[in-house]
Chain A
Amino acid sequence: MIEVKNLKKTFHLKTGDVTAVNDVSLHIEDGAIYGVIGYSGAGKSSLVRCLNLLEIPDEGTITMGEYRNIEIRKGVPYYEGKRMTAQQQNRMRRGIGMIFQHFNLLERSTVFDNIAYPLKYTGRSREEISARVKELLELVDLQDKIDVFPSQLSGGQKQRVAIARALAANPKILLSDEATSALDPDATESILTLLKDLNRKLGITIVIITHEMAVIKAIADRVAVMEEGSVVEEGSVYDIFSDPQAPITRKFIASSSPLGKIDKMIADNSSMTQVKPGEKLVKLVFQKDCVGEHILTSVAQECGVNLNIILANVEYLHGNPLGGTIGVLSGDEKQLADGIRFLEENHVRVEVLKDGSLD
């Protein structure tokens, strides 16, 4: 389990103080894949560095697996009532794997030596290390690269080596700091698939830091949205995607869904979005228990309204429909009211974006 309470971290720079992490509290279950999303400078990288004490927070309480309730007061961590020594911090970090945007492999070491790096701290014999490295290479599917140097590998392969290295000492937690941001789309997908597999196979808890909504959508169970050092929204990925609350979350989701285009169309006053009296520009969002798309035909037949579809996009997230339709709903006042009620009764959320009668 990972638990963070009231975590604070301020950097004192020449240009002034920057509060990178501002009173953040999080709870992450064992075996979860937890996403933290935010624009650069939102404090997500500082947050994840605070988790394994690469950056010592100013205040707060951290539980990382077996290290429970590490209390940090005035930038000094205390564990079990005593000041945490550098050795204790190192020992704690050995139980937490971490991967990075730029892989950070040792260029002068072979794949074997890179992966063996953390194993030298585990007291294993040379034979045991060799066996473990081979096992890890099999896990990340790079058996034939054992004696190769990082400069001879592609970005995706380097990240696989970095993952194997991070997992070498059997950590229960893996922190991923923008691990796919420097990769092409194919490599990104294969790394995400690998992380998901590892989560399932090893039951390892994964914390993923990213600025890409697509990454969260692809593998995370839960997500926290960060802005200016604070978590502005937190919840299951499905809930956040289907019903975002904070403006920044909406912005992220708009950037990752074709339906997001509508905001720009409205702003540009596109002819598609102009409504006359008796017309409403609506966004229909299909909820979890929604039966399917024939509902649009039903509403037309039952209530006598017309729906002119402008944009539509439905995808499935963890088996639930996500997305919806944007269109112009037309009819007289009663038909419109009936239509909206009918849709809502059938688990379609109706958002009126523009109402022709009000103009």
Chain B
Amino acid sequence: MEAWIRSVAPYLYTYRAKFFTACSATFEMFWKAGGIAFMIGLCFGIILVITKKGGIRQNLIIYQITNLVINVFRSIPFIILLIFLIPLTRKVVGTAINVKGAILPLVFGTVPFYSRQVEVALSGVEDGKIEAARSMGSGTFGLIFRVYLHEALPDLIRVTTVTAISLIGLTTMAGAVGAGGIGSFAINYGQNQNHSDIVNVCVLVLLAVTFVLQSIGNGLSKHTTNRSLFQVRHK
């Protein structure tokens, strides 16, 4: 095995320690930024849906502000956002470099996209279901958790998968602030030193990650369409 790797990807073998560090940096950025963006994006998506005109807690001021903030951050290309946020990142986490310095920009880059996706997913829940739940005496929290999130789960899984995959893409750019990760490894050790095997392997790794994420997402989404995740049988 070791001999085989050495023969097909000699430079990768030489820099294998760096490669594993890069993988773990990417993974760290992915789950930390992803986790935070998931929570914030979900909240923003919910706020957009319930405060819009005709929503269950219509509030056009909050809606317009949220909408504007999301639109502004969505229109900034991530690589520019990364630089633009350096002063803020420094203030919030104390440093603007390394993995630590990349988390905040990654969150800013992901949340607007994810919020929109959540908004679309939740808007797919028919008004009739909301009305029926209201007629049964559900308040705002009941409507959000027992109807919106519950009914939109397959769509939420789908949009979360799409966002997760685009987040992987963003992490590769975080190398620009010295966060490391597979992206900067491929550039620094692959492209710049003319080691094509390193670039190829990085592509393969990213492909595999994307494929796995998409498969998990598709499977879960399909499994939860018109079904609950765990079903109790009544006898």
| Chain A interface residues toward B at CB < 8 A | 52, 54, 86-87, 90-94, 96-98, 100, 102, 104-110, 112-113, 117-118, 121, 130, 133-134, 146-147, 149-151, 162, 165-166, 169, 175
Contacts and interface: CB of A to CB of B under 8 A. Distances in A.
Given A93-B136, A94-B137, A146-B234, A104 B150 contact: no
Contact of A107 (B131, B136, B146, B226): B226
A151 B234 contact: no
A71 B74 CA distance: 47
Contact of B150 (A90, A108, A133, A147): A108
A53 to B, nearest CB: 9
A149 B138 CA distance: 22
19 contacts: A86-B139, A86-B140, A90-B137, A93-B136, A94-B136, A100-B128, A106-B147, A106-B150, A108-B150, A108-B151, A108-B153, A117-B133, A118-B136, A133-B234, A146-B234, A147-B231, A150-B226, A162-B132, A166-B135
Contacts of A100: 128, 131-132
B227 interface: yes
Interface of B: 126, 128-129, 131-140, 146-147, 150-151, 153-154, 224-228, 231-234
Contacts of B129: 104-106
A106 B226 CA distance: 9
A130 B234 contact: yes
A86 B134 CA distance: 11
Residue among A54, A117, A134 with the most chain B CB within 10 A? A117
Contact of A112 (B126, B132, B139, B234): B234
B228 A110 contact: yes
A87 B139 contact: yes
A108 B135 contact: no
Given A108-B226, A112-B234, A96 B135 contact: yes
Contacts of A166: 135-136
A354 B198 CA distance: 99
Contacts of A97: 135
B127 to A, nearest CB: 9
A101 to B, nearest CB: 8
Contacts of A113: 228
Given A86-B139, A110-B231, 6 more contacts: A105-B129, A108-B150, A108-B154, A121-B136, A121-B137, A121-B138
A186 B179 CA distance: 67
- What are the 3 A-B residue pairs with the smallest beta carbon separation, nearest first? A94-B137, A104-B132, A98-B135
